[in-house]
Amino acid sequence: MTLAARDLAFAHDTEPVLSGLSLSVDPGEVVSIIGPSGVGKTTLLRLLALRERPDAGAVFVDGESAWTVEESARLGLRRQIGMVFQEATLFDTTVARNVEYGLRVRRSWADRLAGELRALVQSNGTPAVVTDALDVVDLDDRLHEPAQSLSGGEAQRVSFARAIAYDPSVLLLDEPTSDLDPRNTALIEEAVAEASDRGIGVVIATHDMHQAKRIADRVGVLLDGTITEIGPTESVFESPADPRTERFISGELVY
């Protein structure tokens, strides 16, 4: 699934946040959106996730505007888009049950039952899709432990597993490693690479330019309410075309 935004504009009340913003992500591609805190990265992800309706412009899924289809069809599109927030929110139950929750809310009953049959239920009663998702984030040995016993970094990894368990077409990540230690950061980045290898398009918003260099195929720079530049990662960092991009990357442009 190709997800694209064209000429998006959005305001909170009367305060403009985004204007004239365009970008896209293809299957298996990792696109990083960099920019300072408060510039509108979370708002952009919410628009891409179809959680907010733009004031102008459109979000397209495989070339079709997502806000011109029937509500039921749009719900189907939203079910193909996963999102991981900056702070993990887990339920007071086991690690496995937290990951299973994503299957329950994202799939119709028919899809869920078919998925359970395809995945096969392992001898311990946990669907294979759940253990596979937890294996991606190196937590498959913590299946039946209480989620509340996890560290913050481990909880974020469970959130990531929950988002990929239902095999989304696109995964949106909002500063997923901003407060994590190096080990948990590395594991999340490895999980992003695994998602990409599975054909999932990934958009990750981050203020960490080093992370963008490590994991992104393309980088978009969000400044002044719009994408000032987007292109191959090395090109954007080594030879930016827009003066604002160059000043931001060099640390001269401070918000």
Residue with the two structure tokens 């937590």? 139
Residue 232 resides in a domain: yes
Looking at the structure of the chain, the number of domains it has is 1
Q: Label residue 81 by pLDDT band (50, 70, 90).
A: very high
Q: Is residue 98 part of a domain?
A: yes
| 86: in domain | yes
User: Cβ distance 136 to 161 under 8 Å?
Assistant: yes
Query: What's the CATH number where 108 sits?
Result: 3.40.50.300
pLDDT tens figures, 128-173: 889 999 999 999 999 999 999 999 999 999 999 999 998 899 999 9
Note whether residue 67 is domain-resident: yes
Among 14-23, 53-62, 65-74, 109-118, the least confident range: 109-118
The whole-number pLDDT of residue 112 equals: 53
What is the pLDDT, as a whole number, of residue 127? Answer: 80
d(CA 156, CA 176): 7
How confident is the model over 60-81, as a mean pLDDT?
Answer: 93
pLDDT for res 65: 95
In this prediction, residue 110 carries a pLDDT of 46
Q: Rounded to the nearest 5 degrees, what angle is found at the Cα of 201, between the Cα atoms of 98 and 224?
A: 100
Given a contact cutoff of 8 angstroms between Cβ atoms, the answer to whether 50 and 78 are in contact is: yes
pLDDT band at 37 (very low <50, low <70, confident <90, very high): confident
Is residue 249's pLDDT more than 60?
yes
